[in-house]
Structure 1
Amino acid sequence: MNPDLVYLAQTETTAGFLSQNAEALARIKNRPNGKAFLMSVDSLQTLRTFTRVPKEHKNRIRRAKKTTFAYPCGLAIRVIQDTDHLAFLRKLTWSYSTSSNPSGKGFDEAFAIEKADVVVFTCKGFFEDKPSKIFKLGKQKMRKLR
């Protein structure tokens, strides 16, 4: 798999664009280049290559489902547990992730298919679910962002 391509795939919560190329994702979504993307990783081992996990939160991160954590280093990373999404993500080990809708609008399948380089279809099709929870982690405390 080419990490520079933009893939349209069903994530844990919504149909999303996935790529290791943040500039390509920003161009598709018409976002400013400085605005960071959420990262999805395939394992805790991959997570440790990007950031140090505060000791106080290790068990919480390991057990969390559909939850993103913003780390003190400034990265927002989610460890994927959904088996279908994980099967795809294991080929890349990690990727930037964003919803496949135009900025500020709802999911539009025609827009998503047109903008993606590769479309990954599954038997479930594409759908939007409840958004993931996001928590900001400190060394001791945790604060809910969404």
Structure 2
Amino acid sequence: MKKILLAQTDTTVGFLSQNAERLEEVKMREGNKPFLKVYSEFSTLRNAIRIPLYFRGVVRHARKTTFIVKNQAFRYVGDTEHARLIQPYGWLYSTSANPSGGSFDNTFCFDRSDRVIEDSRGLQELSASHIYKLGRVRRRRIR
């Protein structure tokens, strides 16, 4: 999928795509900064990233939480409206719908997206997710 979707994620308004280069272009972002991957099914997540056994239950039941394992950032969204959007693709890169380092702007979002998907929640900027870096048996809160 090369299109850039604009949608309400589980935390805030975001750009979604499977094309990281296109997202970098849209956000005017440096190429060395990786994007968050969002998964709608736990089995797909486990096939892509080796989650430490100690934290599998934590990851499966966490909401509005981003995890980092070996410098790979991911979020499992479970059974939510956001998950129904991601499910046909398996996973999508996700990033906030604002210029890199900038604040939210409606005109920027609509101008840069190929497709706008609005559900019953509308499009609104909400609080950011919690971020944890997971080791084998330790987790460290980043945000």
TM-score bucket (shorter structure): over 0.9
1:125 matched to 2:92? The reply is: no
Shift of 1:82: 5.6
Q: Please say which of residues 102-111 and 4-13 is displaced more in the overlay.
A: 102-111
Aligned to 1:35: 33
Amino acid at match of 2:13: A
Instruction: Give the Cα separation in 2 of the matches to 1:89 and 1:39.
Output: 11
Residue number in structure 1 paired with 2:4 = 6
Q: Aligned match of 1:44 in 42, 48, 55? A: 42
> 1:124 Cα deviation (Å)?
2.1
TM-score, normalised to structure 2, is 0.96
Alignment check: 8 A CA contact 1:12 1:82 kept: no
- Give the aligned partner of residue 111 of structure 1: 108
After superposing on structure 2, the runs of 4+ consecutive aligned residues of structure 1 that deviate more than 3 Å are none
Out of 15, 21, 24, the residue aligned to residue 22 of structure 2 is 24
Which structure 2 residue ranges, 5 or more long, are not aligned?
none
| Structure-2 separation of matches of 1:117 and 1:79 | 24
Verify: 1:66 aligned to 2:67, yes or no.
no
CA RMSD of aligned residues (A): 1.1
Q: Who is 1:135 aligned against?
A: 132
Deviations 1:73-116 (A, max 9, x none): x2101001362111111111100000001122221111101000
Structure 1 residues not aligned, in runs of 5+: none
Percent pairwise identity: 41
Q: 1:96 aligns with which of 93, 98, 107?
A: 93
CA contact (8 A) 1:7 1:19 kept: yes
